[in-house]
Structure 1
């Protein structure tokens, strides 16, 4: 709330030039939402119910010309820009107080070229939008694991998912992007066009402009894959984590597996006597010609599960099976740390913190990385942490705002303890808490080059995004 009793959005809006605003709205083909209008509150909401911010305007763009007009208006009026693709960044970077939201929700077209094995998707598309179209041809690109996630934020910050170990990060599959930069220019960036911009975008988040379309390489995937999804009792957690650790040491890259500690949900698929109990679970897949029974036997034979929901399924169903666990409006706070080794101390920490979680919806996730992700050199893109075989992620998920402090504290304390371990190193841009951690821990030795390019492409910091990449301060000449 501003000092006048108005919101930051109302204060920023009141400072705008009426003539400039009229000219902007006259040139705009989409919808513009102002503070106080009926649709404004809906337009400023994002997936994470913790985020309650008040922009000066929400500009829901109908095309690239609207994006250019929005960026030019923001620059000329001294407004910061936030960009909404899917609106699923846990830190809520899609909306900023007093800024203009460049909303790409309606820019969600997807076009597949099956002969070239590429897909081009607009910046407002979700994973589900892309998978639905590419699977018509038995093709997919490496994206995330929740179909309602926007491709934009996921890709610009890296992008782990079921296909990562075989085909790399989502950003590793980019062929080209179209970008509107702070000067209102539209660039195509690729390996041989505007190469510096292409380097920075791949891992640098949205700090360099509005990416209006993404072109990805496609691979033969599906339409059917084998999904491994099994839950085990807390008493078997240490045994199952040991089996998981051994499995990761020789797992084929055509298979992936996420381990997580959780509480058994009160669903009919689970025995009622187990509801609410702490547990350890595994979700993964095997594709191609792999014999899934052989691939996952070390886990399936290590202990008796509470429930085993493993089965063949369509790839699009695998991609969407977690959607119901992450509904719009739930409250989320996620923090991450990479691991050079999965030690007994890490396993003990995950089991211990799971038992004390304030919310039964929260999980502690252990990602098995490596494979194709680690085969790209650290300086080939802005994404730095390629050589880490594991990642630990605290997912604090809860319903009531009265429980905010307890859940945020739980996640922060757990990650702080994990980061004190000798095997800990760095964090992941898509699991950022509220972006309170130092940029150096995210970008490593790529940090300085990112600052140089930020200074070149966005010297006034029109796109503050996650706050980790800022331009260099201008030197003042003596008068």
Structure 2
């Protein structure tokens, strides 16, 4: 592989703004409006879950449902203060810990919440817009979290990704959109059914408002029927490449394109 590097940092303006989940509907609507005018250098994800015992959160909030705006501005720090101002002015947050941080530190910020050893099941949708109906589905789902590590997050995709042609790489979803990941995460095998059913229920409830596509890395192993939609117009070409370079399907621990069988079906 050859990677083209881009100058970033070494410090970026990044961090979390944590809101009470009771304010989620208003925060999500304001978040949606703020991103419409956001510069390409600004990324902001939304994470909804029970608050972990983070040192900057008051103890009385530990274990309670919260909404977190996780933002990063990759550019001049002073410009970042201006660009993040609207997001940071939303509502009455519990904590705001946005500030200059090493970019490498920001990359690792969520690692303590995702240590190895847990059981995981994901369900994902793309949305062309973050509609009020989709917001309603999510805000109804968070009070029914089946465990303290389960979460739902939204990622906003735009900026430079949209300046690449849809057929230039395998990933075709190049228009500005939101990705929702319903992330069920738990430890005890006896929680399998409750956590998986919760994730599937949120996914089904949100389906009428979704684009019908998905980010392939957020799709679980039982979603082989969605692989073609995930790759869209690139699917046929990827099958041909698979048949040429991997006809024995050596690389199969993924959302697999089985070469000979799928090529005949296509």
Q: TM-score range by the shorter chain?
A: over 0.9
Deviation at 1:292, TM superposition (A): 2.7
| Whole-angstrom CA distance in 2 between matches of 1:329 and 1:441 | 31
User: Contact 2:13–2:81 (CA<8 Å) still a contact in 1?
Assistant: no
Structure 1 SS opposite 2:200: helix
| Runs of at least 5 residues in structure 2 that lack an aligned partner in the other structure | none
Deviation at 1:287, TM superposition (A): 2.5
User: Contact 1:435–1:468 (CA<8 Å) still a contact in 2?
Assistant: no
User: Contact 2:16–2:71 (CA<8 Å) still a contact in 1?
Assistant: yes
Aligned to 1:361: 149
Pick from 202, 220, 245 the counterpart of residue 414 of structure 1: 202
**Residues 376 and 278 of structure 1: is their aligned pair in 2 closer, same or farther, counting only changes over 3 Å?**
same
| Runs of at least 5 residues in structure 1 that lack an aligned partner in the other structure | 1-176, 178-214
1:424 maps to 2:207: no
1:45-87, Cα deviation, whole Å (9 max, x unpaired): xxxxxxxxxxxxxxxxxxxxxxxxxxxxxxxxxxxxxxxxxxx
Q: TM-score, normalization: structure 2?
A: 0.92
What are the within-5 Å matches in structure 2 for residues 105-254 of structure 1? 177=1, 215-254=2-41
Aligned to 1:257: 44
1:293-332, Cα deviation, whole Å (9 max, x unpaired): 3212222222111111212111111111111010010121
| Whole-angstrom CA distance in 2 between matches of 1:295 and 1:467 | 37
1:155-191, Cα deviation, whole Å (9 max, x unpaired): xxxxxxxxxxxxxxxxxxxxxx2xxxxxxxxxxxxxx
Higher helix share: 2
| Whole-angstrom CA distance in 2 between matches of 1:324 and 1:467 | 27
Structure 1 SS opposite 2:185: strand
User: Contact 1:435–1:466 (CA<8 Å) still a contact in 2?
Assistant: no
Aligned to 2:220: 433
| Whole-angstrom CA distance in 1 between matches of 2:261 and 2:138 | 42
User: Contact 1:426–1:442 (CA<8 Å) still a contact in 2?
Assistant: yes
When structure 1 is superposed on structure 2, of 439-448 and 289-298 the one drifting more is: 289-298
The two structures, once aligned, show a CA RMSD in angstroms of: 1.8
Aligned to 1:308: 96
Greater than 4 Å deviation, 4+ residue runs: none
Q: Which has the higher contact order (CA 8 A, sep 6+)?
A: 2
| Whole-angstrom CA distance in 2 between matches of 1:282 and 1:360 | 19
| Whole-angstrom CA distance in 1 between matches of 2:119 and 2:49 | 17
Aligned to 2:69: 282
| Whole-angstrom CA distance in 1 between matches of 2:71 and 2:259 | 40
